[in-house]
């Protein structure tokens, strides 16, 4: 086949230009350390790298989210520990106050100590992070959640909490609303509350009672009335008699699936109520106890009833604190596990990205040498063949 001089020159120059372009690209890879200086170098690989970088960035953000949530949850743990210690001390004081040998001055001294503990607990409930955001305000983190007016404490925060994403399909609560930690605690024993009538004249006091048959419990306000010091009857809110009997101090009185114990000597006409439990805050529990101990009008039996109620509700609050702390610990463990998993994933992603985009210096150096030799050979071949023109032999 005959190849014209023009065709030969065109092909030879195109080949040398291609070799020069390849050498330039290889030199760029060696100098930049990247096989993908632009999308045109390898569109498929560049698309893969971009997708992997997006996944890597999301994973790194999840870890950052977890780090921030961990800092807040650790502060919450510390605040809950402070609150728990204060409440446990308050409970100890309530037990100490439940002593008939104490006089009014002794009870007032205990009330003063309870006020100090309540203030400590209020301080813990209004704890903030390093940025001044309130830990227990829910999503209203810039609002002080708890305010005190006299002996009454109100909650001004939100009942919702911020959710933090720590994985592609995993989120955790970054805190707990103060309403669920300090305020909405079941009153009494959680099913019902007990109280003595303000006008009682005897020395009878009632405990917080317990449920003996949940299926038989019908929520209603029951009244235990003493027709005389040894006989009683129980009526529901409609006035229907649901129980009666002869009273002996310390014996349980059973009705409607529950039992309560009245101790002391009730007088004729004295009465006690058993009502469905609502909710009470830890602050109102301590506040009511303080008021009872400072009161100069309550009888010993009425104070005993108040103390029994306070102790039971403090136990409920302590149990709630324990549950919240356990939840916080579980979330911290989840964040740690997610971060460890993310670290492993990031290492794999970075390895894959490196394989796709980073220069293999050994291979690139060998390739550059090969391209240089090929270009040199092409240039020498072109120069030699170029001299074979017939015009070189015409003298």
Structure confidence by residue, pLDDT tens digits, 167-181:
988 999 999 999 999
- Provide the pLDDT for residue 8: 56
Displacement of CA 71 from its chain's centroid (Å):
11
| CA nearest to 285, candidates 391, 153, 377 | 153
Angle of helix 282-294 versus helix 300-357 axis, rounded to 10: 160
Torsion of CA 18, 20, 26, 30, to 10 degrees: -170
**What are the tens digits of pLDDT across the range 258-309?**
999 999 999 999 999 999 998 999 999 999 999 999 998 888 899 999 999 9
Burial zone of 387 (CB within 10 Å; 0-12 exposed, 13-18 middle, 19+ buried): exposed
With CA atoms as reference, report the closest residue to 80 among 159, 180, 171: 180
pTM: 0.76
State the pairing for strand pair 279-280/185-186.
Answer: antiparallel
pLDDT digits (tens, 9 = 90+) for 80-121: 999 999 999 999 999 999 998 999 999 999 999 999 999 999
Q: What is the mean pLDDT of residues 344-370?
A: 68
* Cα(94)–Cα(190) distance, integer angstroms: 19
Residues in the chain: 395
pLDDT tens per residue, range 175-224: 999 999 999 998 988 899 999 998 999 999 999 999 999 999 999 999 99
Instruction: Please write the tens of the pLDDT for every residue from 35-53.
Output: 566 555 567 766 776 787 7
Torsion of CA 115, 117, 119, 125, to 10 degrees: -140
Is the Cα dihedral 324, 327, 333, 336 positive or negative? negative
Answer whether 260's CB lies under 8 Å from 180's CB.
Answer: no
Quick one: DSSP state of residue 183?
I
Mean pLDDT in the chain?
86
pLDDT category of residue 386 using cuts at 50, 70 and 90: low
Residue 246 phi/psi, 5-degree rounding, is -100, 130
């Amino acid at each position: 086949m005959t190849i014209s001089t023009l065709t030969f020159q065109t092909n030879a120059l195109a080949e040398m230009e291609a070799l020069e372009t390849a050498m330039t690209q290889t030199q760029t890879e060696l100098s930049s350390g990247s096989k993908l200086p632009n999308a045109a170098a390898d569109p498929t690989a560049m698309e893969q790298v971009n997708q992997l970088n997006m996944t890597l960035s999301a994973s790194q953000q999840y870890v950052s989210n977890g780090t921030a949530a961990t800092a807040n949850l650790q502060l919450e743990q510390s605040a809950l520990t402070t609150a728990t210690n204060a409440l446990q001390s308050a409970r100890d004081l309530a037990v100490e106050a439940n002593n008939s040998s104490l006089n009014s001055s002794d009870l007032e001294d205990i009330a003063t100590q309870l006020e100090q503990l309540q203030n400590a607990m209020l301080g813990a409930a209004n704890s903030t992070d390093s940025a001044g955001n309130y830990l227990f305000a829910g999503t209203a983190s810039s609002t002080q959640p708890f305010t005190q007016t006299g002996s009454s404490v109100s909650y001004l925060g939100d009942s919702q909490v911020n959710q933090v994403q720590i994985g592609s399909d995993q989120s955790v609560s970054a805190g707990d609303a103060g309403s669920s930690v300090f305020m909405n605690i079941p009153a009494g024993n959680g099913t019902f509350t007990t109280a003595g009538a303000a006008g009682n004249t005897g020395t009878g006091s009632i405990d917080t009672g317990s449920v003996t048959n949940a299926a038989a419990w019908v929520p209603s306000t029951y009244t235990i009335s003493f027709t005389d010091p040894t006989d009683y009857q129980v009526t529901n809110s409609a006035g229907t008699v649901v129980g009666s009997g002869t009273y002996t101090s310390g014996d349980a009185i059973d009705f409607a699936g529950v039992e309560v114990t009245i101790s002391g000597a009730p007088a004729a006409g004295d009465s006690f109520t058993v009502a469905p439990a609502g909710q009470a805050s830890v602050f109102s529990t301590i506040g009511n106890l303080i008021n009872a101990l400072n009161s100069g009008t309550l009888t010993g039996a009425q104070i005993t009833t108040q103390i029994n109620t306070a102790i039971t509700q403090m136990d409920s609050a302590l149990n709630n604190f324990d549950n919240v702390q356990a939840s916080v610990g579980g979330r911290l463990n989840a964040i740690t596990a997610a971060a460890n998993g993310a670290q492993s994933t990031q290492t794999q992603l970075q390895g894959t990205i490196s394989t796709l985009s980073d220069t293999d210096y050994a291979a690139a150096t060998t390739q550059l040498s090969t391209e240089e030799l090929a270009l040199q050979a092409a240039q020498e071949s072109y120069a030699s063949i170029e001299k074979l023109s017939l015009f070189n032999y015409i003298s």
